[in-house]
Amino acid sequence: MAEPVLGTIQTDLSGQTALVTGASRGIGRAIALSLGRCGARVACVARDAAKLAETVDAIRATGGEADAWTCDVTDGPKINELVDQVVAKYGGLQILVNNAGITRDTLLPRMEDAQWDEVILTNLRSTFLFTRAATLVMMRARYGRVINMASVSGLVGNPGQANYAASKAGIIGFTKTVAREFAGRNMTVNAVAPGFITTDMTAALGELVNEEVKKRIPAKRLGRPEEIAEAVLFLASRAAGYITGQVLTIDGGMTA
Per-residue pLDDT, 212 = 82
Per-residue pLDDT, 200 = 72
Residue 66 lies in a domain: yes
Residue 10 lies in a domain: no
Residue 8 lies in a domain: no
Per-residue pLDDT, 162 = 97
83, 101, 80: which is closest to 197 by C-alpha? 101
10-residue mean pLDDT profile of the chain (256 residues): values are 64 97 97 97 97 97 96 97 98 98 96 98 98 98 98 95 98 98 98 91 68 88 95 97 98 93
Provide the domain count of the chain: 1
Q: Is residue 152 a contact partner of residue 170, using CB atoms and an 8 Å limit?
A: no
Per-residue pLDDT, 5 = 58
Residue 255 lies in a domain: no
Quick check: helix, strand or coil at residue 251? Answer: coil
DSSP structural state of residue 45: E
Alpha helices in the chain (DSSP H): 26-37, 49-61, 76-90, 113-119, 126-141, 153-156, 162-182, 200-203, 207-215, 225-236
Per-residue pLDDT, 215 = 87
Per-residue pLDDT, 213 = 82
Residue 256 lies in a domain: no
CATH (domain of 25): 3.40.50.720
Handedness of CA 46, 51, 53, 58 (dihedral sign): negative
Per-residue pLDDT, 202 = 65
Domain enclosing residue 89, as ranges: 17-250
Per-residue pLDDT, 205 = 65
Known catalytic residue at 90: no
Residue 69 lies in a domain: yes
Residue 47 lies in a domain: yes
Per-residue pLDDT, 9 = 80
Rounded Cα distance, 120 and 124, in Å = 5
Per-residue pLDDT, 256 = 87
Residue 95 lies in a domain: yes
